[in-house]
Amino acid sequence: MFQSATVLHQLFSGNSLRGWISLLLVVLAISQCQSQFRQPQVSITENDTVGYRFLQSDSNQITNKQTLEPFFKKLFIQRVSGGERISIVHIGDSHIQGNFMTEQVRYRMQDAFGDAGRGVIFPYKLAGTNGPRDYLVETDARWKGSNCQRNLAETTPYGLTGFCLETTQDKGDLIVRARDTSSTRTSPFTKVTIYYRKSPKSFPFEISDDVTNQQARRLIEDDYSSTFFFDRPVVQFKLLFQRTSPEQLSLAIDGICLENELAGIVYHSIGVNGGKFMDFARAAFFSKQVGNLQPDLIILSMGTNEAQGASGPKGLYGQMQELYDQLKANAPGVPILLTTPADSYLRGKGFNPYMPQVSDVIRRFAKDHNLALWDLYALSGGEKSAHYWKSSGLMSSDSVHYSKAGYLVQGKLFYQSLMNGYNIFVDNLAQEARSK
């Protein structure tokens, strides 16, 4: 398997005609060797589809999907021979913070391409807000939390998740347990990365697991993070901190990343309630720490809050440009996929006249910058389509957010669009090979 992955890497990295012809022949050979390899294409099953008539499901495609070919190539290699770790970073607002939509995409992609870990998480509960339900957090310390949306300064001191959790208590612990309270799925991990700002004023800390009686080893460290490794997989860890000198004032955590060091998908979901493009652009350490995740695809899903505040087209475009420039500087060459938001009501009281304008700006930005686009707004009916979401029981009572069922629908639709794009990529390779 390792040799197969190496050969595919060499073929993909070359630009010669001979290399591409050889690659296409490999694709055909793989399709005939199902005892050793999985089918390169990914099947879309009934469980991945939705049946609401107001959705334009036949048009559920990613525009300009050819810009995602580097990402699709890594998926292909992982699918047929393994050995690839594929990092997806999905950034957004409250629709992403709750993890209902992204969880559906994560689980399906990990079933298709392998599970390399949960990815980025944050102790949202300790910051006084809602969070995902696939992990639990406990502590014996007092913490205070804030996020980049609440701070209106021109530059804010936030990092990877857009949140910060801080304690000034002399010593204490933070326990994280990977346990999905909504299903039986639990993802063990061996690698824990704590994102924070290292300085002489920060409390030192260590990572351990009381259940398996392991002390994790700190093997990687820089000014923004420390990475610890367990010898055996665990489903929980304890962060233990303690002041050891008078100059140490606090411990401030930007985020946590859980991985298992296996090949497959790591799907990081990063959301901030009320978040906008500009909030992430103002966060001084955000894009740098996103780059630390070594993403193969960055997805930006915002617009709902800009539409609630009637952001002008010129202002919104400039805010998108600022965040885009920062991400490109810290993750050069990484494909970026924009999404438009599904329709919602204006402050929950009536149809939102600003939503078409915001969606148009996102489309225009994607076209101007040659980016891939998933147009959920058009897919779900466009202007005033929030009525259909609402009448179908897919929106929450505030008419801005969606119900669990609504986010399930969005997650399935997005997964379908990604896999449709990937399958077309694989089909095109096979067609070209047959023509040689």
DSSP 246-297: TT--BEEEEEEEEE-S-SEEEEEEEE-TT--HHHHHHBTTHHHHHHHT--SE
Which residue matches tokens 């080893």?
217
Phi, psi (5° rounding) for residue 180? Answer: -80, 115
DSSP summary character for residue 370: T
The closest of 201, 205, 210, 179 to 193, measured between CA atoms, is 205
Tokens of 215: 């002390």
The predicted pLDDT at position 8 comes to 55
Q: Is 352 exposed, middle or buried (0-12, 13-18, 19+ CB in 10 A)?
A: buried
Q: Which two tokens stand for residue 133?
A: 């339900």
Question: Dihedrals φ, ψ of 259, to 5°?
Answer: -140, 165
Domains of the chain are 48-116+263-426 (3.40.50.1110), 120-261 (2.60.120.260)
What span, in angstroms and rounded, lies between the C-alpha atoms of 52 and 57? 9
pLDDT digits (tens, 9 = 90+) for 85-102: 999 999 999 999 999 999
Taking the C-alpha atoms of residue 388 and residue 13, their distance in angstroms, rounded to an integer, is 47
For the chain, 436 residues long, give each residue's pLDDT as a single digit of tens. 444 455 455 555 555 445 544 555 555 554 444 434 578 999 998 888 888 989 988 789 999 999 999 999 999 999 999 999 999 999 999 999 999 999 999 999 999 999 999 999 999 999 999 999 999 999 999 999 999 999 989 999 999 999 999 999 999 999 999 986 666 678 899 999 999 988 999 999 999 999 999 999 999 999 899 999 999 999 999 999 999 999 999 999 999 999 999 999 999 999 999 999 999 999 999 999 999 999 999 999 999 999 987 667 789 999 999 999 999 999 999 999 999 999 999 977 888 899 999 999 999 999 999 999 999 999 999 999 999 999 999 999 999 999 999 999 999 999 999 999 999 999 998 887 777 6
Q: What is the spatial distance between Cα 14 and Cα 357, in angstroms, rounded to a whole number?
A: 43
**Mean predicted lDDT score pLDDT of the chain:** 90
Residue 79 CA to its chain's centroid (Å)? 20
Amino acid at 161: T
Q: How far apart are CA 216 and CA 204, in angstroms?
A: 14
Q: How far is CA 51 from CA 42, 55, 58, 375, 413, in A?
A: 20, 8, 11, 18, 11
Distance from C-alpha of 436 to C-alpha of 423, rounded to nearest angstrom: 20
Q: Give pairs for 208-217: CB < 8 Å, separation 24+.
A: 208/237, 208/238, 208/240, 209/234, 209/236, 209/237, 209/238, 210/238, 211/235, 211/236, 216/192
As given in the structure block, the two tokens for residue 260 are 């298992």
- Three-state SS for 242? strand
What is residue 434's predicted lDDT score, i.e. its pLDDT? Answer: 79
CA proximity to 297, closest of 42, 70, 40, 61:
70
Residue 73: other Cβ atoms inside 10 A: 21
